[in-house]
Amino acid sequence: MGKTFAEKALARAAGLSQVVAGQVVDARPDVILSHDNTAAIAGIFRSFELEKVVDPDRLVIVLDHAVPAPTAQHAQNHVEVRQFASEQGIKNFFDVGRGICHQVVGEEALILPGQLLLGSDSHTTHSGWLGSFAAGIGRTETAALWATGELWLRVPESMKIIVTGQLGRGVTPKDLCLHILGKLGAEGGLYMSVEFSGPAIHSLSLAGRMVIPNMMAEFGAKNAYIPPDDAVFKDLAERRLRRLADARMVTPTQEALAEQVDWMRALALYPDPDAVYAAQHSFDASAIEPNIACPHSVDNVRPLSALAGTRIHQAFIGTCTNGRLEDLQAAAEIVQGKKVATGTRLLVIPASAEIYAAAICHGYIQTLLDAGAVIGT
pLDDT value of position 246 = 67
Direct distance between the N- and C-terminal alpha carbons of the chain, in angstroms, rounded to an integer? 49
A 10 A CB-CB count for 88 gives: 18
Closest CA to 226 of 162, 170, 138, 311: 162
- Contacts for 228 with CB less than 8 Å, ≥ 6 apart: 113, 130, 131, 264, 268
Q: Backbone phi, then psi, for 172, in 5-degree steps?
A: -115, 170
pLDDT value of position 250 = 61
Model confidence pLDDT, tens digit, residues 244-300: 766 665 677 888 899 999 999 999 999 999 999 999 999 999 999 999 999 999 999
Closest CA to 134 of 148, 152, 115: 115
Mean pLDDT by 10 residues, the chain (377 residues): 97 98 98 97 97 97 94 96 98 97 97 98 98 98 98 99 97 98 97 98 97 98 98 96 71 86 97 98 97 95 94 95 96 97 97 97 98 95
* Whether 81 contacts 183, CB under 8 Å: no
How far is CA 182 from its chain centroid? 21
d(CA 109, CA 146): 21
How far is CA 242 from its chain centroid? 21
In the chain, what are the domains?
A: 17-153 (3.30.499.10), 156-228+268-307 (3.30.499.10), 231-266 (no CATH), 311-375 (3.30.499.10)
pLDDT value of position 251 = 72
pLDDT value of position 252 = 74
